[in-house]
Amino acid sequence: MANATGFLRGGGDIRRLTMYSGRTGESIDMIYWIDGDYIRPALEEISHFMRDWRTDDVHPIDPRTIDIMTAAHNLLDTSEPYTVLSGYRSPATNAMLRARSSGVARNSLHMQGEAADLRMSSRSVSQMFEAARACSAGGVGRYSGSGFVHMDCGPVRSWGR
């Protein structure tokens, strides 16, 4: 995680994340960290925003994942918000998706609130993938065929084409 937080330095003492959900039509533009401290109500709002849209279940999103997303977004040098395809996934949603696709992990970090699947129209999947990978702070998956990048706060690794 030291690398991701390193990319967040120099931007002042504020960390901010902007996202849009095509599934719910909601948007969020949230300062979640100021002067070395996470803002608990902001993290709760981000967790609600990144809820399982199929079941409306809310689970805390790991601040490390939020930091990785923010650091990668800063490297992309754009004001466009992320489009969130998947944040938290309930076990039921994960099982349903797993039955439909071999690309869904049985013990997905989405079920722990430690992963997000994201896209942007102004940046390619490869650009997003490289920005997240440059953070060296978790897992990064490139899903070019589906047009999104997976970011998580698990072990440092990368996959996909």
Confidence check: pLDDT of 92 > 60: yes
Of 73-82, 95-104, 124-133, which range is least confident? 95-104
Average pLDDT, the chain: 93
Distance CA 72, CA 76 (A): 6
What integer pLDDT is reported at residue 9 of this predicted model? 54
Confidence check: pLDDT of 12 > 70: no
**Start-to-end C-alpha separation, the chain:** 24
Confidence check: pLDDT of 78 > 60: yes
Residues 6+ apart with CB under 8 A from 127: 76
Q: What is the CATH number of the domain that holds 72?
A: 3.30.1380.10
Phi, psi of 133 (to 5 degrees): -65, -35
Q: Which of 55, 52, 63 is nearest to 85 (CA)?
A: 52
The range of the structural domain enclosing residue 100 comes to 2-160
What integer pLDDT is reported at residue 104 of this predicted model? 86
Q: Which residue has the tokens 């060296």?
A: 136
Q: How confident is the model over 121-153, as pLDDT tens digits?
A: 999 999 999 999 999 999 999 999 999 999 999
Confidence check: pLDDT of 99 > 80: yes
What integer pLDDT is reported at residue 5 of this predicted model? 54
Q: How many domains does the chain have?
A: 1
SS3 helix, strand, coil % of the chain, rounded to 5? 35, 25, 40
What integer pLDDT is reported at residue 155 of this predicted model? 96
Q: How confident is the model over 16-46, as pLDDT tens digits?
A: 999 999 999 999 999 999 989 999 999 999 9
